[in-house]
């Protein structure tokens, strides 16, 4: 039984978030949590919360269906980052010009599933 968690409109560029998500894809959840706790990137904190949320979702799904649940059996089966809407802002520059600033957002999805035996 797989469980999914998403965070939408994360104020971080997708390229920066993908660097962190690529570190945990395919790892066990315990190993992924340890990796994210000590990763220096700023995106590691929201992705850590997302993996914990996916584990909690799996626990709730198992309780509702009456199945046995063991957190150590879970693996990050899928993790991906999609681009969200871009906020466009303008910064005044010299001689009356204006430069555009693009504040990018991300939609991050993490799917955890038990190990196939």
Q: What is the pLDDT of residues 79-110, one digit of tens each?
A: 999 999 999 999 999 999 999 999 999 999 99
Q: Please, what CATH class does the domain formed by 3-114 belong to?
A: alpha beta
Cα(47)–Cα(12) distance, integer angstroms: 11
pLDDT grade for 7, boundaries at 50, 70 and 90:
very high
| pLDDT exceeds cutoff 90 at 111 | yes
DSSP secondary structure letter of residue 115: P
How far is residue 90 from each of residues 36, 79, 86, 96, measured CA to CA in Å? Answer: 34, 33, 13, 12
Give the pLDDT score at 1: 83
- Closest to 114 in 3D by CA, of 54, 64, 66: 54
Give yes or no for a contact between 112 and 53, defined as CB atoms under 8 angstroms apart: no
Cα(7)–Cα(82) distance, integer angstroms: 10
Name the E strands within the chain.
Answer: 3-10, 74-83, 87-92, 98-103, 106-114
pLDDT tens-digit profile of 44-87?
A: 999 999 999 999 999 999 999 998 889 899 999 999 999 999 99
Domain boundaries, the chain: 3-114
| pLDDT exceeds cutoff 90 at 11 | yes
Whole-model pTM? 0.90
Dihedral (C-alpha) 9, 11, 17, 21: value to the nearest 10 degrees? -50
């Amino acid at each position: 039984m797989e469980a999914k968690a998403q965070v939408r409109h994360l104020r971080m560029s997708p390229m920066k978030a993908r660097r962190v998500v690529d570190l945990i894809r395919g790892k066990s959840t315990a190993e992924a949590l340890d990796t994210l706790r000590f990763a220096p990137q700023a995106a590691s904190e929201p992705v850590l919360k997302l993996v914990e949320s996916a584990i909690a979702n799996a626990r709730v799904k198992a309780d509702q269906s009456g199945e046995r649940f063991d957190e150590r059996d879970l693996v990050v089966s899928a993790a991906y980052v999609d681009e969200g809407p871009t906020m466009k802002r303008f910064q005044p520059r010299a001689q009356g010009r204006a430069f555009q600033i693009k504040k990018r957002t991300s939609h991050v999805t993490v799917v955890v599933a038990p190990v196939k035996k």
